[in-house]
Amino acid sequence: MLNTVWVDEPDEAALRGIRGLLLAAREVDGRPEVTADGPLPGEFSGGLHLLARVDGKPAGYAHLDTTGDSFGRQVAELIVHPDFRRQGVATRLTEALVDKVGDGKLRVWAHGDHPAAARIAERAGFTRARELLVLHVDVRDWPEPTLPDGVTLRTFVPGQDEQTVIDVNARAFDWHPEQGALTVEELRATEAEGWFDAAGFFLAERDGRVVGFHWTKVHPADPDRFDGEPVGEVYVVGVDPRAQGGGLGKALTLAGLRHLRERGLRHVILYVEGDNAPALAVYERLGFTRFAVDVQYAR
């Protein structure tokens, strides 16, 4: 028998079940990025948790971000255990999400753009609203970046640069559902995470003022992806709108890519909005090609 229950704060047993389900999904789908211990990925923190069980076994899970994105839309992540797919679990979870949010704005992520997710979304009255592309490139001999006149490059200094980076980020991503809402407190919390490396966080300055940045990231090795090696990421490239148009975005991207290459990495990925044509053009010229796509459905 399939049953669902909402939980504000999962207890230890529920967390074990959620983690086991996410790990099982990762084995099949390559996502989400979850480890066997430690905290759950950030997209599953806070908010509300919806657990689906079949005869007491974890069958499905949805996380609802009740604080919403930058435009006030509640956003859900929905994952079904591989052993319980095509058994109506995703449909039940979707119905429960719609009932919980009511007439409010609701968006649901489908990672990997599976046809089954598209069918469930259509039946539930959702439409395809957003594509987030995952691009990949094999590391190559990228050229030295050419900075615009008067612009210099340095690396991030923890305890000094948080506010100025957040100010540039807010202006650069005022259109973005998530990135534009990044806070100083969230940036400082990220600095405490094991992957954070200030040496891979590049700031561009003109006349002593930060006008852009490139924040890189290195993911640990995954035996099922990228030859079982660590992979670099063009995590965030932000350019102040007042400094756009002079090739600064490309220069910052090259600086980060060369840094990742110097770290001995052979693969680099990035996430980019499917309708961001200028960014896609830059990345394609640097050798990136489409690797995967995530879809956000809107009700």
217 in a known ligand binding site: yes
125 in a known ligand binding site: no
78 is in an annotated binding site: yes
Task: Flag whether 79 is marked binding.
Answer: yes
> Which 3-state string (H, E, C) describes the chain?
CEEEEEECCCCHHHHHHHHHHHHHHHHHHCCCCCCCCCCCCHHHCCCEEEEEEECCEEEEEEEEECCCCCCCCEEEEEEECHHHCCCCHHHHHHHHHHHHHCCCCEEEEEECCCHHHHHHHHHCCCEEEEEEEEEEEECCCCCCCCCCCCEEEEECCCCCCHHHHHHHHHHHCCCCCCHHHCCHHHHHHHHCCCCCCHHHEEEEEECCEEEEEEEEEEECCCCCCHHHCCEEEEEEEEECHHHCCCCHHHHHHHHHHHHHHHCCCCEEEEEEECCCHHHHHHHHHCCCEEEEEEEEEEC
Q: Is 87 annotated as a binding residue?
A: yes
Does 178 show up as a binding residue in the annotation? yes
165 among annotated binding-site residues:
no
- Is 250 known to sit in a ligand binding site? yes
Q: Confirm whether residue 247 is marked as ligand binding.
A: yes
Binding site annotation covers 186? no
Residue 277 labelled as part of a binding site: no
* 88 has binding-site annotation: yes
89 has binding-site annotation: yes
Instruction: Tell me whether residue 297 is annotated as binding.
Output: no
Q: Find out whether 120 is annotated in a ligand binding site.
A: no
* 239 in a known ligand binding site: yes
- Tell whether 60 is in a known binding site: no
Residue 244 marked ligand-binding = yes
The reply, when asked if residue 228 is annotated as ligand binding, is: no
35 labeled part of a ligand binding site: no
Binding residue per annotation — 254?
A: no
Binding-site positions:
78-80, 86-91, 178, 217, 233, 237-239, 244-250, 271
Binding-site positions for acetyl-CoA:
78-80, 86-91, 237-239, 244-250
